[in-house]
Amino acid sequence: MAEADSMNAAAPAALSDAQAGQTVLRLNDIELGFGGVKAINKVSFEVRKGEILAIIGPNGAGKSSMLNVINGFYKPQKGSIEFRGETRRAMDPNHAAKHGIARTFQNIALFKGMSTLDNLMTGRLLKMKRNIFWQALYWGPAQKEELEHREAVEKIIDFLEIQAIRRTPVGKLPYGLQKRVELGRALAMEPDILLLDEPMAGMNVEEKEDMCRFVLEVNQEFGTTIVLIEHDMGVVMDISDRVVVLDYGVKIADGTPDQVRANQRVIDAYLGVSH
Amino acid sequence: MFFSWPFFFEVLIGGLLAGVMYSLVALGFVLIFKASGVFNFAQGGMVLFAALTLVGLIELGVPAALAILLAMAAMVVLAYVVEKAVLRPLVNQPPIILFMATIGITFFIDGFGQTLWGSDVHTLDLGIPNTPLFFGDILVNSFDLVAAAVAGILVTVLAIFFQKTRIGRALRAVADDHQAAMSVGIPLRVIWVIVWSVAGLVALVAGIMWGSKLGVQFSLALIALKALPVLILGGFTSIPGAIIGGLMIGAGEKLAEVFIGPFLAGAIEDWFAYMLAMVVLLFRPQGLFGEKIIERV
């Protein structure tokens, strides 16, 4: 197994003004098609350090495809991605994970047979450094390391208020809690950029409020950059710093929530327009 | 048929030790199933291929120890090739597709092994003692004791590897969800090569033990069929389950043959294991030790 790269162990607590607003990820003229269908058509936008960026748009606008391009599940046919000073044609999921991009999925993708704790521990895999032989023996340094990571995971469990379900196989948990565990697994990676695909879909008001609170706290306390897809416009306008609007795979707006709200093309896309 | 306790124990112990041999084959299945959710139909073929390679090398005059190392290397290469040629193009496909692919792999390595090394029956003699030992009144074969010891060591190592290490956790994660595993940075390809290699090494061990007993020949590929009831009994996802399942099948079929057989006109050893498996399927489809099947609707 490949050795994990050394990564900044502690997330930066607060960003200096100089750092905030720097571009950390830039997508240039991304084009992605499946057979004859163009899912994404020449979309460019940037993600700035420490912000909460929302990607919105009607169903089928290419939002999830965009996230899949960012973390490397999809390889765009055209365009390039600038990340950490490197310009690439496409990302690779492993490279993305190693360099601090974590994500959740629209349809929860957890390790169903494993406990909450084990699910979160998988998020630490890349941070564990002892090699395969120590791991196979599981004593000495490897065991100590396991305990250190366990501690980090326990902090996340406290943060997300899921202490009670620590040992429960996640397949048994209700939907809202599964979403929370999935967020926990992404947080366990101590990401610089967190991609959330509809983190509040299918939740009741109370669960949504909790999830909003977690997202905001992660962003403020750890300085984590967040890119999220969400359909609840109230939530999007409340918590995001910037909004990118996609429609039929094309970017139709990009700006602050207020700018986007006032944009005629966005209103047309959402409410329909008579031609 | 009269009943006496020493005789009962002799049959029981003989059965348990024969069961260990089944467990050795079942283990390879469990490994790959745990790590990729795929039932690897090719496991029997891998046993044959490993044993053929070993015996072929020994017949070429390679010293036994070196031949074992080379056979191990061959199994790792096979794992790498399988990953590259078969599994990689099929990432994220449903398990049934991967299962079908393993059937293809079976035909390939059955044929390839025999093309390379011939289809004659070879004898494999690594000097494992095969003498009857007496413990009181009970007769035990020393070969079976060696097999049991080998299986015991193998299982202990594998169980610790899977339950306690980060690689074990990564393997289980890959088994549950490919995409999620990739998103936390688990290198799917490396994991698959590791797990097929380990399954290949287990196949080599099984091939050595079975090959020493029966001779190395095509029928080794068919002992996989005997591993099926073991898996159903023990659960596809449990390493200890594979062992206990093997012991139960081994002991069960020998005891049934000796003590129930006469009432049913004999020869029940051949089908007893399958019937036992069917009963287990009715009441506990995940096997006695398998991970519970969780389904939320």
CATH of the domain at A77: 3.40.50.300
pLDDT at B218 over 80: yes
Judgement on whether residues A200 and A95 belong to the same structural domain of the protein: yes
CA count, 13 A, side-chain hemisphere, B248: 23
The answer, for A92 touching chain B at a CB cutoff of 8 Å, is no
Please indicate whether, in this complex, the C-beta atoms of B170 and A122 are within 8 angstroms of each other.
yes
Residue-level pLDDT at A131: 52
The chain-wide mean pLDDT, for chain B, equals: 85
Q: Which of B173, B194, B237 sits opposite A111 (nearest CB)?
A: B173
Bridge partners (DSSP) of residue A269 are none
Instruction: Give a yes or no: residue B295 inside a domain.
Output: no
Residue-level pLDDT at A11: 42
pLDDT at B294 over 70: no
* ipTM of the prediction greater than 0.95, yes or no: no
Judgement on whether residues A257 and A203 belong to the same structural domain of the protein: yes
Q: What value does the mean pLDDT take over residues B108-127?
A: 86
Contacting residues of A for B167, CB less than 8 Å apart: 1, 132, 135-136
Judgement on whether residues A202 and A141 belong to the same structural domain of the protein: no
Instruction: Give a yes or no: residue B42 inside a domain.
Output: yes
Min distance A118 CA to chain B CA atoms (Å)? 8
Judgement on whether residues A95 and A198 belong to the same structural domain of the protein: yes
Instruction: Give a yes or no: residue A182 inside a domain.
Output: no
Judgement on whether residues A143 and A199 belong to the same structural domain of the protein: no
Q: Show the domain range for A55.
A: 23-100+191-271
pLDDT at B212 over 80: yes
Min distance A271 CA to chain B CA atoms (Å)? 34
Please indicate whether, in this complex, the C-beta atoms of A122 and B291 are within 8 angstroms of each other.
no
Instruction: Give a yes or no: residue B169 inside a domain.
Output: yes
The answer, for A103 touching chain B at a CB cutoff of 8 Å, is yes
Judgement on whether residues A164 and A215 belong to the same structural domain of the protein: no
Length of chain B in terms of residues written: 297
Min distance B152 CA to chain A CA atoms (Å)? 17
pLDDT band at B293 (very low <50, low <70, confident <90, very high): low
Residue-level pLDDT at B168: 80
Q: Which residue of chain B has the CA closest to A124?
A: B184
Is B41 strand, coil or helix?
A: coil
Instruction: Give a yes or no: residue B291 inside a domain.
Output: no
The answer, for A169 touching chain B at a CB cutoff of 8 Å, is yes
Report the residue of B34, B183, B191, B237 to disrupt the A interface, i.e. the one with the largest count of A CBs within 10 Å: B183
Judgement on whether residues A118 and A220 belong to the same structural domain of the protein: no
Q: What is the pLDDT along chain A (275 residues), one digit of tens a residue?
A: 344 444 344 444 444 444 557 889 999 999 998 888 889 999 999 999 999 999 998 888 889 999 999 999 899 999 999 998 889 998 888 889 888 999 999 888 888 878 898 899 888 887 776 555 555 555 566 677 778 888 889 999 999 999 899 888 888 898 889 999 999 999 999 999 999 999 988 888 898 999 999 999 999 988 999 999 998 888 888 899 999 999 989 999 999 999 988 888 888 888 777 66
Q: Which of B34, B90, B64, B15 shows the shortest CA–CA distance to B202?
A: B34
Contact A186, A104 (CB under 8 A): yes
**Which of A9-13, A74-78, B202-206, B240-244 shows the lowest mean pLDDT across its residues?**
A9-13
Measured at the CA of A168, the angle between CA A167 and CA A173, to 5 degrees, comes to 150
Question: How many domains would you assign to chain B?
Answer: 1
Which of A129, A146, A175 is the last residue before a domain boundary?
Answer: A175
Report the residue of A68, A125, A132, A192 to disrupt the B interface, i.e. the one with the largest count of B CBs within 10 Å: A125
Q: Kindly report the pTM of this predicted structure.
A: 0.74
Residue-level pLDDT at B151: 85
Instruction: Give a yes or no: residue A136 inside a domain.
Output: yes
Question: How many domains would you assign to chain A?
Answer: 2
Which CATH number characterizes residue B55's domain? 1.10.3470
Contact A27, A34 (CB under 8 A): no
Where do the H-state alpha helices sit in chain B? 5-36, 43-59, 64-82, 95-117, 142-164, 166-176, 178-183, 188-214, 223-234, 239-255, 269-283
Residue A131 CA to residue A84 CA, distance in Å, equals 27
Q: Show the domain range for B136.
A: 5-283
Q: For residue A118, what is the enclosing H or E element?
A: helix A116-122
Q: Which of B157, B170, B179 sits opposite A73 (nearest CB)?
A: B179
Report the residue of A64, A112, A121 to disrupt the B interface, i.e. the one with the largest count of B CBs within 10 Å: A112
Judgement on whether residues A92 and A199 belong to the same structural domain of the protein: yes
Min distance B41 CA to chain A CA atoms (Å)? 24
Please indicate whether, in this complex, the C-beta atoms of B180 and A121 are within 8 angstroms of each other.
no
Write down the residue that tokens 């564990």 correspond to: A128
Sign of CA dihedral B264, B266, B272, B275: negative
pLDDT at B242 over 80: yes
